[in-house]
Amino acid sequence: MDHVDLNLIEALDALLTESSVTKAAARLNTSAPAMSRTLARLRRAFDDPLLVRAGRDLVPTPRALELRGEVHAVAARARALFAPSNTADPRTAVRMFDLQVTDMLSTTFIPSLIDDLRIQAPGISLRLRPESLEDTPALREGLVDLEIGIIRPGEPEIRSETLVTETLIGVVRPDHPLARAKTVTPQRFAAADHIVMSRRGRAHGPIDEQLADLGLRRRIAAVVPTFASALFLARETDVVCVAPARLGRPMLDTLGLRTFPIPLALPSLTIGMAWHPRNHHDRTHQLLRERTRHIMATAAEQGDHLAPIAPEANTR
């Protein structure tokens, strides 16, 4: 019995339910001769006739009666195993998801996502994983369920989706000279002291390259590893840092910071999410992606009404 044909369970369930070879065959969409051959195999497997002739009908043997309830239960469980999971409501699922989120979004986006999930799917919990995992195939290895941030090319099978496109703006405290400036020129921008946010400690980037093209150079007062620490330093001292124009708005408002357009042609920032194909059809994972998409779009839409529009704007 090391190589049991599990199709026999479904056939036995049909035979014991119908007590008829013909009806069992019709139930399983097969022919009566094929079902007769299957009954013969079952009789050999159980060393029992299972169904015997009583006039024009078949009646179950005592052994068949013993088996009938258990066989039906096993067959039902097998059918449920292969049934679509659409009956499961992801809004009532209890599940922990591992997220890898860009530091900037940890303080600007994640609070809104948590609040949203508490209402939409209170059984979902989030565990934020360190950004150091970006150097490993975390999605492929299942260490991360969803990555949100600046999605860089990785494994070819990874699925991704663009959420929003952001513009970077300058951020200062209210009494900073640039907060009162009618126009922030590249020269005035470069003359200010700057805070740079870099998890890897890099002091130079695209801003410095564009300033260099203009023959300018800014002074870096400090390099910090997180977006939140850069904003708190900008609130406490006369330094400039950069932030996303729309997604950063809630935290900028909370800290009472002022913003201005950066007078350089900086490339836009594309924020997206990525996940492994193993989770693509998972309905609870789909719900998480849908809520992520909704919260990000809402934050961007709200930011559109508040972000600086013209270069002359020096306050919100």
DSSP string over the chain: -TT--THHHHHHHHHHHH--HHHHHHHTT--HHHHHHHHHHHHHHHTS--EEEETTEEEE-HHHHHHHHHHHHHHHHHHHHHS-GGGS-GGG--EEEEEEE-HHHHHHTHHHHHHHHHHH-TTEEEEEEPGGGGGTTHHHHTS-SEEEESPPP--TT-EEEEEEEE-EEEEE-TTSHHHH-SS--HHHHHHSEEEEE-TT-----HHHHHHHHTT---EEEEEES-HHHHHHHHHHSS-BEEEETTTTHHHHHHHT-EEEE-SS-PPPEEEEEEE-GGGTT-HHHHHHHHHHHHHHHHHHHHHHTTS--STT----
pLDDT at 310 over 50: no
Report if residue 182 sits inside a domain.
yes
Label residue 156 by pLDDT band (50, 70, 90): confident
Supply the pLDDT for residue 3.
61
Report if residue 311 sits inside a domain.
no
Six token digits for residue 54: 């009583």
Supply the pLDDT for residue 302.
73
Here the CATH number for the domain that contains residue 73 is 1.10.10.10
User: What domain range includes position 47?
Assistant: 6-82
The mean per-residue pLDDT over the stretch 248-255 comes to 85
Supply the pLDDT for residue 304.
61
Supply the pLDDT for residue 311.
36
Q: What are phi and psi of 258, to 5 degrees?
A: -105, 155
Same structural domain, 179 and 211:
yes
Report if residue 219 sits inside a domain.
yes
Here the CATH number for the domain that contains residue 239 is 3.40.190.10
Provide the whole-model pTM: 0.67
Supply the pLDDT for residue 129.
85
Report if residue 310 sits inside a domain.
no
Q: How many domains does the chain have?
A: 3
pLDDT per residue as tens digits for the range 27-86 = 999 999 999 999 999 999 999 999 999 888 899 999 999 998 889 888 888 877 776 655
Same structural domain, 181 and 51:
no
Same structural domain, 155 and 278:
yes
Same structural domain, 37 and 180:
no
Name the residue with higher pLDDT: 157 or 184: 184
Name the residue with higher pLDDT: 10 or 302: 10
pLDDT at 256 over 50: yes
pLDDT at 176 over 60: yes
Same structural domain, 119 and 251:
no
